[in-house]
Chains A and B, each alone.
Chain A
C-alpha cells in the first residue's frame, strides 16, 4: 500500500501549492523560496518565505511524532558526496530557475512549457546519474 501513502502525500503537497496560489497568488518553489531568503533584501516581503521554510522543516518531525516512528531517514551517501550533490543542486536550481516543486508540481500544473522541458531534463540526468553510480557505464 505504499502507493496509497505516496499518492496521499502528493495530494497534501498539492494542497499546499493550491493554498499559496489561492491566497497569495504564488507558486511554491522550494528552491526559489530558499534562494529568495539568501539573496533578496529584507524589505521585500520575505516574511512568508521564512514562515514557509519553518513550516516545511517542522512538518516531517510532526508526522514522526504523530505516528511514533522516525520518518526522516539517514543519507545513503557519504558526507563529501552530500556536499557535492548539494552544491550541484543549488547551482542547478538557480541557473534552471526551479526544482521538483516549482517546475515539477506548480509548473506542470499551470502548463508551463519551460517547466515541462526542465522536468524532462532533470529526470533524464538524474536517471543517468543513478544508472552510472549504481551500475557503471
Chain B
C-alpha cells in the first residue's frame, strides 16, 4: 500500500515535470533533434536539470546504504555493454526521431485523446511483446 502511494506521487511529479518542461509537445523534442533547422535547446536543459539533481540525490541515498521503505536497492544488474544494447537504443532513437515521442511523453499525452497518441501507445505495447521474443 505504501509503495502504491509512493508510486502515485512520484508518477504525478514526473508527469507534471514532463508538462512543465514542454516534453508533451513533440515540436519541442523534434526542435532539439533538428540541428540543421531552427534549433530548440530546451531538451538539453530538461535532461541537464534532471540528471544534475538526480546525480546529487542518488549520491546521498547510496551513501545511506539502503532505501527508507524497503530493505535493499533493486538496480539493473547488467553491466556489460553489448551489441543488443546498442541495436535496441538505435532502433528506439529512430522511432523517437520519427514522431518526437519517447515512452513518458506518449503516456503523458494520452488524456488529450489524440488518436495518433493512442495508436502510438498501442504500437509501443506491441513492440514490447515483439522485443521480448527476440
Contacts and interface: CB of A to CB of B under 8 A. Distances in A.
A110 B56 CA distance: 10
A131 B97 CA distance: 9
B4 A16 contact: no
Contacts of A50: 4, 7
A128 B72 CA distance: 40
B114 A75 contact: yes
Main secondary structure of the interface of A (DSSP, over half): helix
A84 B98 contact: yes
A94 B35 CA distance: 27
Contacts of B100: 75-77
Contacts of A3: 41-42, 45
B89 A125 contact: yes
A25 B74 contact: yes
Main secondary structure of the interface of B (DSSP, over half): helix
Interface residues of A, number: 110
Interface string B9-50: 111111111111111111100100111110011111111111
Interface residues of B, number: 113
Q: Which of A84, A88, A107, A133 has the most CB of B within 10 A?
A: A88
Contact of B67 (A21, A56, A101): A21
Nearest to A70: B112
Interface in A45-76: 45, 47-64, 70-76
A122 B20 contact: no
Contact of B87 (A30, A96, A98, A109): A96
Interface of B: 1, 3-27, 30, 33-37, 40-55, 57-58, 61-62, 66-70, 72-76, 78-81, 84-104, 106-112, 114-117, 119-132, 134
Given A18-B53, A24-B7, A30-B103, 17 more contacts: A6-B45, A10-B17, A19-B9, A26-B73, A27-B75, A30-B14, A39-B132, A48-B3, A55-B9, A59-B108, A60-B111, A75-B117, A89-B95, A93-B127, A117-B85, A121-B85, A127-B33
22 contacts: A2-B22, A10-B46, A13-B49, A14-B17, A15-B13, A20-B7, A22-B61, A24-B6, A25-B73, A25-B75, A30-B14, A53-B107, A56-B11, A72-B19, A84-B98, A92-B88, A96-B87, A109-B51, A122-B90, A124-B90, A126-B93, A126-B94
